Chains A and B, each alone.
Chain A
Amino acid sequence: KAGVTQTPRYLIKTRGQQVTLSCSPISGHRSVSWYQQTPGQGLQFLFEYFSETQRNKGNFPGRFSGRQFSNSRSEMNVSTLELGDSALYLCASSLLWTGASSMNTEAFFGQGTRLTVV
C-alpha cells in the first residue's frame, strides 16, 4: 500500500510570494494533518482536514491555509512568504478524524516538502 505522498519535495521561493504544497494520503485515509518542522521550534501542528472540512487548527497566522478535496488529497497554501517560513512541511494521514476518538491519533507521515524562502 502506498504511503503518504508529498509534492514537491523541495521548493525555493522569494519573500512575498505564495506557495502551494500537496499531500496525497494513504488510500482509504480520510484525515490529513499538516505540521511545520524547524530546528528551533521542532514539529508544530498547523491544521487538520477531514471530509473536506478543517477540524482543528494550530497557532499559525492566517497566511497559512489549506483545503481538502473529495478524494482526501490536501493542499496547503502559504501567502506572502517570510524568511521564517523556511521549514520542512510534513503531512500526516489518519484513517479517521483524530479528534473523534482517542484511538485515531496514529498518524502516518510523508517525507515532507522542504521550503526555502530567500
Chain B
Amino acid sequence: AQSVSQHNHHVILSEAASLELGCNYSYGGTVNLFWYVQYPGQHLQLLLKYFSGDPLVKGIKGFEAEFIKSKFSFNLRKPSVQWSDTAEYFCAVGGSQGNLIFGKGTKLSVKP
C-alpha cells in the first residue's frame, strides 16, 4: 500500500534559520507529490507540487522542494524562515486512484 512518512513531528526554529522537512513515500509508479500547509485556524493550502520535469520545484512564500526518485524523497526547504511560517506542513502523494495520501504532518514553530 502507498504511504508517506514525515520524519519530524515537531520542529522548532528561530527566525532566519534554514528549514528542511523530510518526506519519503512508498510507491513504485509515477508519482504526483505535494506539500500542503495548514496555518492555525485556516484551511489546508497548497505550497507546491511536482508532477514531472525539473525535480526542483519552487512554490509560494519562498518554499521549494526537491524530488529525488532514487531516494523516494520529496523534502521541503526554505533558506530563511519567518515567524509567520509557524504552521503544520503535510506531504502528500497522489494515489493510484487519484486520492491524496498524506503524511502525519510536521508542526513547525518559529521563535521570533
Contacts and interface: CB of A to CB of B under 8 A. Distances in A.
Interface size bucket, B side?
20 to 34
Contact of B98 (A35, A44, A98): A98
B34 to A, nearest CB: 8
A103 B98 CA distance: 9
Given A42-B104, A45-B100, A105-B34, 18 more contacts: A3-B43, A4-B43, A33-B100, A43-B90, A48-B98, A58-B99, A90-B43, A90-B44, A98-B98, A98-B99, A99-B98, A102-B94, A104-B98, A106-B46, A107-B46, A109-B43, A109-B45, A112-B43
Interface of B: 30, 32, 34, 36, 42-46, 49, 51, 90, 92, 94-95, 97-105
B51 to A, nearest CB: 6
Contacts of A48: 98-99
Contacts of B51: 102-103
B10 to A, nearest CB: 13
B46 A100 contact: no
Contacts of A66: none
Interface string A87-115: 00010100001111011111111111000
Contacts of B49: 106
Given A98-B94, A102-B32, A108 B46 contact: yes
B97 A43 contact: no
